[in-house]
Structure 1
Amino acid sequence: MTGDAGTAPQPSQSRLAFQAVGRSLARTGGELGTRIAGAWRAVAAFARPATSLVSTTGWLVLVAALVSALVAVVFDWVEFAFLAATLAGALLLAVPFVFGRLRYRVGVELEPRRVVAGERALGRLGVVNDGTAKSVSSRIELPVGAGSAVFRIPSLEPRAGHEELFAVPTNRRAVIVAGPAISVRGDELGLLRRTVRWNDPVELFVHPVTARLRPSAAGLVRDLEGEVTKVITDHDLSFHALRAYEPGDPLRNVHWRSSARTGRLMVRQYEETRRSELVLLQSTEESHYDDEAEFELGVSVFASIAVQLIKDATKTVCATERMRLRTTSTTSLLDDSCRIQPYARRGGPALGGLRELVRDRIRLAPAASVVVLVTGGAQPLSEVRAVQTVLPPEMPLVAIRVQRGAESRIAKVGRSTVATIGDLGELAAVMRRVRP
């Protein structure tokens, strides 16, 4: 026997050598790849000022010219040689169009900066030649929302200006961004394109249509000084009862007359009063609404109630699943309401979305006196009522279902009030009848 039966076989020297060579090659290849990638990035950065001038069309023309030249050389086709020369000539002729420098002062103004959906808004593009020589004609592109306006700026004398007016579409609630204004120099075929940004974007707020409500948000908040609750405390205004003194109780709460009559110290207890605070929420999940128009009706109802609460100086938290709206002023709230957008829940529609929304957002105001929830008509009524299960017993719920064309009505189920709104014009009358 030359070895033990339990001894593992040792790898041969040749295998170890091959493994070492493999590791060395892999390490060398990795280092070479890293160097090549670094060199390519350096070359790309060096050439970027030139390559950035070539448009997508220009790159396609360049590739077509190279392919045509290759075909002409390989197959000796004269036609492809002419095609390659024509495409290359078009690129060369486009080069002079990108030279030159513009010295502009560009301003974009929107008037007014805030409108209600459907109202008219106008914009003005002003261009002044700040150079000391006469400028050449140029083209300025101005993105406006999802579209883009193109203006031809004529040749301008030094300090001379040019003005263009344009209308801004305000059909629906949105934040419309106008700008930045970009001057474009290049050939008419669009092969080469040199752009210069001249100003910062300007925002136009298209507010939702709102309804005018009566003060105090139609009874949602019923007092200014606070409401008495069933919570017993040692410090408040509303007297509740007397109890025996316990070590640590403040002496100022001792009721001396009762203490003298009973022969032991008695202290006062009070019912806690809370400053009126309201949580206003809107569900923005797509599956809760039948269509886009119904969603916009929900935003209008939400904004109408929020505006009146702010006017009444009611402490309010306004929020959706994905954002909390500012309530410092009606303007800031309406500006934020322009950014409310529907979203699709991952995995498709699912029940429980309303309860998740309310459970998460009442943490912002755990001592709120009322929760108002705006949702769409596609949500089952049972699911809307089930939201009350995630609220504390002393916190009533007012749910407002928007359902276009439906008859407005109010239903009371336990501590929940469910109102249905079919048209924004009916909101004021319905909210006057709501009593949480």
Structure 2
Amino acid sequence: MANTATEAFGADAKPTRLASIRRTLATGMRPVVRAVGPVVGVVTTTGWLAIVASTVLLVVGLSWSWSEVLAVAFAATAAVVVAIVTVLGRTSFRVEVTLSPTRVVVGERAIGRVEITNVGSRRTSATRLELPVGDGLAVFAIPGLAPEAATDELFAVPTHRRAVIDAGPAVTVRGDQLGLFRRTVSWTEPIELFVHPVTTRLQPSAAGLVRDLEGQTTQKITNSDMAFHALREYVVGDDVRHVHWRSSARTGQLMVRQFEETRRSHLTILHTSDERYFASVEEFELAVSVTASVATQVIREATAIDVVTEGRRLRTHTGGALLDDTCRIDVIRGATTSPRDFARDATAMLPAPSVAVIVAGSRMTAADFRAIEKFFPSETRVIALRIAEGENPKVQIAGGLQIFTVGALRDLPRVLTRAS
């Protein structure tokens, strides 16, 4: 029994010792990896192939006294040595990237500028600067610069579609012409260019969508509000300020006022981004423009508004913030199983609105619009905007819900006027 216990203990101890050795080696190698990592990182795949090839050829040539192989080995070795020389040395730059302007509408011109200054004490050699701009890459040949000397380059930013375009980081690249070694240094952080959707100006009060600036009366009775409803007998705890003294004197008992509860105007826009409801990319972009046009008009009038889409609630404290967030709306695939689920998830944390506007593509059916409408309480007015690029404006009635077709952005003011 004792031997068996000893053997088990020894078996358990071996993995423990091995794990301890591994941890010790890992701890000891970590500084080495940190020191060697940047040096090894400058060697490209082609560079490693050249190093391995020159080593193998040199060994074969020397072993077999093969002059032709030695000549190739020396040439490859010389190329590696020259490549190493090209990445040696340090440069001190100050790089500034600016965009003018930082917010444009689709199709407007946006120009960027890169300024490079030599802040070192020695003249720099010619180098190359790479600047990612969206999906593209701008490459600039920077000449040698004397101390405190500067040069600048201009570049155009494509704005043919709605997007948030990152410019940067600006990276200087040093290396040989064969691409064996490549040493990069990043000098800036990325900056953003917002390409806003095209919008159209609407009439005040969003073409009549939200006209009740003093609030809408509801059927709910309250003890304190603005809209008088009726009188009732006083009960203990009622506010004496609401006692109607003239009626009390006439009836011989205290009478207090009752009111109809009023609700401040609040508009919610539900913009679906699910691709199954849109026939094309152009139709989706038109839907974003419609949402942005209605929302910015409501924001101008200082009316409470929420704009929601799948997984995103747009900022609405200013029109600029809203337009910035519309640049981030992307097509999604199957985020929810049904339109009602979309409405439930998107408005879960929002107050009940006085007006709800549904914005969807031509492939959303009348039944889908109706499913979203039924999610809201009866006192909420629901307006459905069906975006169908190229179609003429029209209205469809589905179970009491009006579904308005918008075929072009210029039709939106007329459609909303009819909806009001």
* TM-score, normalization by structure 2: 0.91
Identical-residue share of aligned pairs (%): 46
Contact 2:164-2:328 within 8 A present in 1 as well: yes
Describe the superposition over 1:203-242 as per-residue Cα deviations: whole angstroms up to 9, x where unpaired.
Answer: 2111101122111111110222111111111111111111
Distance 2:369 2:214 in 1: 31
The counterpart of 1:426, out of the listed 387, 406, 411, is: 411
The counterpart of 1:392, out of the listed 377, 383, 399, is: 377
Distance 1:177 1:290 in 2: 29
The counterpart of 1:35, out of the listed 15, 24, 36, is: 24
Shift of 1:22: 2.4
Distance 1:73 1:343 in 2: 62
Moved more, 115-124 or 68-77: 68-77
Amino acid at match of 2:361: G
What's 2:357 paired with? 372
Q: How does 1:103-252 map to 2 (within 5 A)?
A: 103-252=92-241
Shift of 1:42: 3.2
What's 1:254 paired with? 243
Amino acid at match of 1:224: L
Distance 2:312 2:394 in 1: 29
Distance 2:193 2:333 in 1: 26
What's 1:48 paired with? 37
Distance 1:200 1:135 in 2: 23
Shift of 1:400: 1.3
Contact 1:106-1:127 within 8 A present in 2 as well: yes
Describe the superposition over 1:342-361 as per-residue Cα deviations: whole angstroms up to 9, x where unpaired.
Answer: 22236xxx641x32332234
Moved more, 97-106 or 230-239: 97-106
Alignment partner of 1:390: what SS? coil
Alignment partner of 1:204: what SS? strand
Distance 1:70 1:281 in 2: 71
CA 85–416 in structure 1, closer or farther in 2 if over 3 Å, else same: farther
Distance 1:395 1:56 in 2: 64
Shift of 1:29: 2.4
Alignment partner of 2:219: what SS? strand
Contact 1:411-1:417 within 8 A present in 2 as well: yes
Contact 1:397-1:415 within 8 A present in 2 as well: no
Contact 1:351-1:383 within 8 A present in 2 as well: no
Moved more, 300-309 or 330-339: 330-339
What's 1:97 paired with? 86
Any gaps of 5 or more consecutive residues in structure 2? none
Alignment partner of 1:324: what SS? strand
Alignment partner of 2:374: what SS? helix
What's 1:358 paired with? 343
Shift of 1:81: 6.6
What's 1:403 paired with? 388
What's 1:416 paired with? 401
CA 102–265 in structure 1, closer or farther in 2 if over 3 Å, else same: same
Aligned residues: 420
Shift of 1:369: 0.7
CA 100–411 in structure 1, closer or farther in 2 if over 3 Å, else same: same
Contact 2:366-2:398 within 8 A present in 1 as well: no
Shift of 1:333: 1.4
What's 1:334 paired with? 323
Question: Is 1:307–2:292 an aligned residue pair?
Answer: no
Contact 1:235-1:270 within 8 A present in 2 as well: yes
Contact 2:166-2:191 within 8 A present in 1 as well: yes
Distance 1:417 1:366 in 2: 23
Alignment partner of 2:364: what SS? coil
Shift of 1:75: 10
Amino acid at match of 1:331: G
Describe the superposition over 1:77-128 as per-residue Cα deviations: whole angstroms up to 9, x where unpaired.
Answer: 9877766655444322211111222222222222222111112211122222
CA 411–26 in structure 1, closer or farther in 2 if over 3 Å, else same: same
CA 77–239 in structure 1, closer or farther in 2 if over 3 Å, else same: farther
Shift of 1:25: 2.1
CA 165–250 in structure 1, closer or farther in 2 if over 3 Å, else same: same
Amino acid at match of 2:370: R
What's 1:268 paired with? 257
Amino acid at match of 1:33: R
What's 2:367 paired with? 382
When the two chains are superposed, the root-mean-square deviation of aligned CA atoms in Å is 2.6
Distance 1:69 1:245 in 2: 108
Shift of 1:15: 5.1
CA 20–235 in structure 1, closer or farther in 2 if over 3 Å, else same: same
Alignment partner of 2:347: what SS? helix
Any gaps of 5 or more consecutive residues in structure 1? 1-11
Distance 1:81 1:17 in 2: 62
Q: How does 1:289-300 map to 2 (within 5 A)?
A: 289-300=278-289
Shift of 1:246: 2.0
